[in-house]
Chains A and B, each alone.
Chain A
């Protein structure tokens, strides 16, 4: 009997020597939204340092990549209008390179060159919500000038635009790129089990203990969640929806996801959720597939190398590829038509 008590006491003492791994969480504001960083670790001091580093990094990216305030990107946009060669800021160049590739893959349905159109619709400023759409002629004038990322020419650190209508807005891409950068910072700090979420878009690495990261996907129209999904280490999940920034005219919803082909909000879709290992790609793809719509999303997803898609159309029907349907746990009492596509 005394041996059991002795063993138990020894076990408790030994357990006390090892600081337990637990979840640490930190939230702050960047990119006009809430950013949350979660780290599963026992090293509290190092966790605090990493939180500071990630927050500083997000603030830097936010200041640098806004096209609407004085920033490195604003300078680049202003000089692109001249159509002459100039040196591009090193903080902006990687975004241009990566987003140009994604724009090409998406047939320019993801098009960060339409900043002027975004500005015309006032979707760049939450405090200036419109009550009516802009004049049709003003919209069509910008569409006809057809600004695309392929109008840019890059030679080392030099850049020029062949089309003065190009104005880059990385609103559908910077958050994803930023989450990826934050995750790389956490890895440099030696953390292998962490989550970074910015305004509902998420990337995870490792696992919180012995289970997977559990993510709930919010229903785009109803209260609560539409589904839940476990993310594998390294995966990110991004959703683009028509509910984030919009105004109503009668029963018509004018939302912020613009179709570069028409200059008007993309029609036919309520939300698109994408799972992919690279958060910048997931971010761009969620927008591109939203614009592609219920008929063309599958082709664009293939072109962009996306393996998991859930699209909810404007009739509430849920379109998924078989691999996504397999892992999405839809809410039990959900009344919706599920359309499973061909494999991606």
Chain B
């Protein structure tokens, strides 16, 4: 093994953890909440700033709570309230769609798991 080979080996070994982080890491916490409504269109919110959003949808106003880097529906005018029962989302790629009210939220960040959600 020449000196150049040894240097190359060291570089490759040093890069391995980065490669792991880039391709095989588990779902990671997101940093942005993308909120969609047929009334307001797309809006983005920083998940690091705690607040309560009031988003008008097809049936009425939904309330979305952002706390500690996670988000959840806390009020919705829909019948089933599945959006509220879903609870918290915080990992990149997580999403909740309130179909009756047409308001959806999606966590964006690195490590997205899916290209799209079919429903």
Using CB atoms and an 8 Å cutoff, list the residues of chain A in contact with chain B.
1, 3-4, 27-29, 32-34, 36, 38, 126-127, 129, 195, 197, 200-202, 204, 208, 213-218, 221, 223-225, 228, 237-239, 241, 243-248, 273
A33 touches B102 (CB 8 A): yes
Closest A residue to B42 by beta carbon equals A27
A200 touches B97 (CB 8 A): yes
Q: Which residues of B contact A27 (CB under 8 A)?
A: 36, 41-42
Given A126-B58, A126-B59, residue A32 in contact with residue B118 (CB < 8 A): no
Query: Within the complex, which residue of A29, A214, A215, A243 is in contact with B80, where a contact is CB–CB below 8 Å?
Result: A243
B118 touches A38 (CB 8 A): no
3 closest A-B pairs by CB: A200-B119, A218-B119, A126-B58
B86 touches A32 (CB 8 A): no
Given A218-B97, A244-B100, residue A38 in contact with residue B38 (CB < 8 A): no
Query: Within the complex, which residue of A127, A218, A223, A248 is in contact with B79, where a contact is CB–CB below 8 Å?
Result: A248
CA A197 to CA B114, docked complex, whole Å: 13
User: Which segment of B2-10, B24-32, B46-54 sits at the interface?
Assistant: B2-10
A129 touches B59 (CB 8 A): yes
Query: Within the complex, which residue of A195, A223, A239 is in contact with B115, where a contact is CB–CB below 8 Å?
Result: A195
A4 touches B4 (CB 8 A): yes
6 more A-B residue pairs beyond the given contacts A127-B59, A217-B117, with a C-beta to C-beta distance below 8 A: A1-B3, A34-B38, A34-B104, A216-B118, A237-B118, A243-B82
Report 28 cross-chain contacts, Cβ distance below 8 Å, ordered by A residue: A1-B3, A1-B7, A3-B4, A4-B8, A27-B42, A28-B41, A34-B104, A126-B102, A129-B59, A200-B97, A200-B117, A204-B115, A214-B113, A215-B114, A215-B117, A215-B118, A216-B114, A216-B117, A217-B118, A223-B85, A223-B86, A237-B118, A239-B118, A239-B119, A243-B80, A244-B99, A244-B100, A273-B118
CA A29 to CA B7, docked complex, whole Å: 54
Query: Within the complex, which residue of B4, B59, B85, B119 is in contact with A1, where a contact is CB–CB below 8 Å?
Result: B4
**Is B22 interfacial (CB-CB < 8 Å)?**
no
Given A4-B8, A126-B59, A127-B58, residue A246 in contact with residue B100 (CB < 8 A): yes
Using CB atoms and an 8 Å cutoff, list the residues of chain B in contact with chain A.
3-4, 7-8, 36, 38, 41-42, 58-59, 79-80, 82, 85-87, 97, 99-100, 102, 104, 113-119
Q: Which residues of B contact A126 (CB under 8 A)?
A: 58-59, 100, 102
CA A228 to CA B97, docked complex, whole Å: 17
User: How far apart are A261's CB and chain B's nearest CB, in angstroms?
Assistant: 26
Q: Which residues of B contact A241 (CB under 8 A)?
A: 119
